[in-house]
Amino acid sequence: MPQKTLKKRVISICNISPTKFGSFEEFIVALTDKLKDNNFEHLIIFRDKPIKIVEDSLLNKGAKIEIIKPSKYNIKNFIEFYRIIKKNQPDIVHFHFYPIYTIVNYLSIISDVRIVYTDHMGGKEAKTKFKKMIRLIYYNVNSKLFSYGINRIICVSKFTKLKYVKDYGIHPKNLCVIYNGINIERFNKRCEVGKIKEKYKVKDEFIITCVGLRKDKGVHYLIKEIPSIIKQIPNIKIILVGEGECRNYLETQVQEYDLKKYVIFTGQISNIEEVFCISSCVVMPTLVEEACPYTALESMAIGVPVIGFDSGGLKEIVIDGQNGYIIPKKSKALVEKIVAIHNKELIDSMGEKCKKRILEKFSLLQCTNKYVELYTKI
């Protein structure tokens, strides 16, 4: 009788607590499905129990789930992860949202595993030469101490890869670029626009959407310029999605500028595509260096142009003047480009280019295929 091919195993250790079925959660589900098709078993470790829809979706695809809340002490993480590895005998351990250079990488010395990381995060740019020098020393020292055993670091943009090479002094040989991917089918579904507009109490306004109410997302730049935008486009609505430490401050600013009738705070929502499908444009005045932001990918997948500050990997997604605009980190530039895009023919033209861009380069299928190719190769 022919022998059965032994299944390979991947452990994905994700330092997140899934509280929504967002694009990263969709990625983990799709990756599980792709791994199953390629004779891999998939164990996923979260820091907290995921919401039911995420848990059920993963279990239905054949994944196993465990919960481990990481310690701030890496030696404790080392011991905990060693226990998991010994119990499950994986071929590959893949860390998501974890610091890359720690003692955890020495697991490969005592276990026959390949270690992979994905750097999903952007970061703050070092503003002074001194801070750049300190950062360079820190990462150089840590990479020499703890790089042993890392087989690949997946960077979600060319910007992220360049960051490691240029700013952190990391050798590029173990770095590779795999862009984040979007479930195009989800964002191509026909939305009941009339009902959604009724839900958010909007009609035929020019709708500007901004996601994330944290200071680093820069939404205060948009709020500051709303009076200037209104002078040129009186019929507007600003939809602010999500929560964050700046919400109270932003609500106060809206009151002070007498903008209450123009601004809608949605809070956390489960179906971000609802808001995007009624949006005229999405504004991303982010002040940090974005790696490969899902907000841009999701809005463009629906066909909504993005106006964003020149930040990290954003300009690898948005081609300036074609499917949106990349602008300097100045609030006045926001007004100029929002007014420029206030043209139905231009929005329609950019919208088609947005969809094409996502389809060609940022689909979930492309992303998961490349992950499985990498696992097979190493």
Confidence category of residue 174, pLDDT binned at 50, 70, 90: confident
Residues 6+ apart with CB under 8 A from 272: 22, 211, 241, 298
Question: What would the pLDDT profile of 354-373 be if each residue is shown by its tens digit?
Answer: 999 999 999 999 999 999 99
User: pLDDT value at position 125?
Assistant: 74
Sign, CA dihedral 292-293-299-301, equals positive
Q: Where are the alpha helices (DSSP H) in 218-330?
A: 219-232, 247-256, 272-277, 294-302, 314-317
Cα 121 from Cα 126, distance rounded (Å):
15
Helix and strand numbers, DSSP H then E, in the chain: 16, 13
pTM of the model: 0.92
In the chain the domains, ranked by start, together with CATH numbers, are 8-181+363-377 (3.40.50.2000), 185-361 (3.40.50.2000)
User: pLDDT value at position 5?
Assistant: 61
Sign, CA dihedral 158-124-339-359, equals positive
170 pLDDT more than 80? no
Question: What would the pLDDT profile of 140-164 be if each residue is shown by its tens digit?
Answer: 888 888 888 899 999 999 999 998 8
Question: What would the pLDDT profile of 72-128 be if each residue is shown by its tens digit?
Answer: 999 999 999 999 999 999 999 999 999 999 999 999 989 989 999 998 877 777 778
Question: What would the pLDDT profile of 219-261 be if each residue is shown by its tens digit?
Answer: 999 999 999 999 999 999 999 999 989 999 999 999 999 999 9
User: pLDDT value at position 1?
Assistant: 46
